[in-house]
Structure 1
Amino acid sequence: MTKEGGASLEWEAPALVLSTAPFGEADLLVHLFSAEHGVVHGLARGGGARRNAAMWQPGNLVHAQWRARSAEQLGSLVGEAVAAIAGRAIQSRIALSCLSSICAVADLALPERQPHPHLFDDTVAVLSALPREEDAFANLLRWEMALLADLGFALDLSACAATGEREGLAYVSPRTGRAVSRDAAGIWAQRLLPLPALFMDPSDFGTPEQWSEGLRLTGHFLWRDVFGPLHRPLPSARQRIADLARALREQSA
């Protein structure tokens, strides 16, 4: 719900906490993600106090109230806890790493105050599934694909770019973002990015090898199309989840 009148602006809505930073002795600068308002920054007075700190953990779902004198101003923020997702994710290294990566990527990749309602719903669903580990990596990878699509950089995995075939898709062109079949790749396969089978089957949770390959695939396009133009590296939390997937791949070899 949004109210605007005179020189003030106010809204309230469910929102995910993406990041926080101390502001003064007890306040927090909070970055939120809501369906209608996108990524919004606000000042939570007393947010750093012990009684409030747990609510503002990245990954948590809150009912937020944001108010400012103008749309350009850093608004004041109050919230009520809805789902303590961060507290559940901390039980698992994989879950916490996935949560941290999703929050960091969304925080830095999404433009401020641009609505992304479908991506918001996807993000809530993926984070709410934690701390379940078996599908955490697959959900993360599909979420990154959804984010790329929402920002206008969707990959085309519907058919082979060279032959039009819909079967045997095994690679993605790092230049065009289009799928390539194993047969069509031929001697060029080493120049292409592997396409893990989990992207083609929603019921497939994948393997450590596929998780690592999938993160390499989405990471390439996140850097090229999203973070590179902003002159930023991939967030450190995103790099850590890729490192974790590689470590799990080596352990399973």
Structure 2
Amino acid sequence: MRIDTPAIVVALRSHGEHGAVVRLMTPADGLQPAYVRGARGRRMRPVLMAGNLVQAQLAARTDTQLPQATVELTHSRGPLLGEPLPAAAIEWCCALVAVALPEGQPYPRLFEALDGLLAAIEAAPSASGWGAALVRFELLLLAELGFGLDLQQCAVTGATERLVAVSPRSGRAISAAEAEPYGVRLLPLPAFLLHGGQAAWAEIMDGLALTGHFLQRDILTDRTAPLAEARSRLVERLHRAAGLA
């Protein structure tokens, strides 16, 4: 097996005295684990930070062998890791990909979405500029793993207008008239997920509550407790940034 590909570093785990197993998100080959010699050395540590874009060459003699990789940095997002809010966002979205996706399965849309989200975090002056992209990324990941939400029409009437809520059980949209009797038992459906455009802070937080419910139910099992904690840290920091805490 030989792969030469651009990739996003999503996780790193020490292995042996100087090396590490790195997890790379690639456009055509999905999530790929590989052993990198000297990964914990002075030269490679800045390269193998979560969120960095790299060019990777992976090689293994058999399909069952852990590949060895050489990795060259093409774009660093290391400076963002010194800022609490962007660092929490990068930590969360990379860890989610590293844990939730099966290895070796292609998810080109998720690669593009992750790359776009990281670029938005890097470019935006505040989380209000990338919060909506984060919600859309989480929705896409749910859909790619078979847990997609149906936000196109009302689950009760089939109406496509005035959709304001989502059933926490079925993941289907509910219209305003049908939602009224159920009140807080439904999850708010922010308008930007239906119509695009910019999102206000309140809509971003509603979107994160929506995706968080289904991520917790369908993806974040007991074995992923640290992953759930990473998301909780991010949401807490977003609340503070929005002045809601």
Q: Once the 2 structures are TM-superposed, how far is the Cα of residue 231 of structure 1 from its aligned partner?
A: 4.9
- TM-score of the aligned structures, taking structure 2 as reference length: 0.91
CA deviation profile, 1:112-158 (whole Å, cap 9, x unmatched): 11110111111111112222123221111110011111112111111
Is 1:13 matched with 2:30? no
Structure 1 partner of 2:198: 204
> 1:44–1:78: 8 Å Cα contact kept in structure 2?
yes
Is 1:119 matched with 2:104? no
In structure 1, what is the Cα distance between the partners aligned to 2:189 and 2:208?
10
Structure 2 partner of 1:167: 161
Could you list the runs of 5+ residues in structure 1 that have no partner in the other structure? 1-8
In structure 1, what is the Cα distance between the partners aligned to 2:186 and 2:213?
11
Is 1:243 matched with 2:240? no
Q: Once the 2 structures are TM-superposed, how far is the Cα of residue 190 of structure 1 from its aligned partner?
A: 1.6
Is 1:191 matched with 2:185? yes
2:131 to 134, 137, 141: 137
SS class of match (1:63): strand
Percent identical pairs in the alignment equals: 36
* Number of aligned residues: 241
In structure 1, what is the Cα distance between the partners aligned to 2:117 and 2:78?
12
Q: Once the 2 structures are TM-superposed, how far is the Cα of residue 184 of structure 1 from its aligned partner?
A: 1.1
SS class of match (2:116): helix
SS class of match (2:148): coil
Deviating above 4 A after TM superposition, structure 1's stretches of 4 or more consecutive aligned residues are: none
Structure 2 partner of 1:108: 99
> 2:85–2:238: 8 Å Cα contact kept in structure 1?
no
Structure 1 partner of 2:213: 220
- TM-score of the aligned structures, taking structure 1 as reference length: 0.88
Could you list the runs of 5+ residues in structure 2 that have no partner in the other structure? none
Is 1:90 matched with 2:81? yes
CA deviation profile, 1:152-208 (whole Å, cap 9, x unmatched): 21111111112222222111001111111222112212211111222123212321x
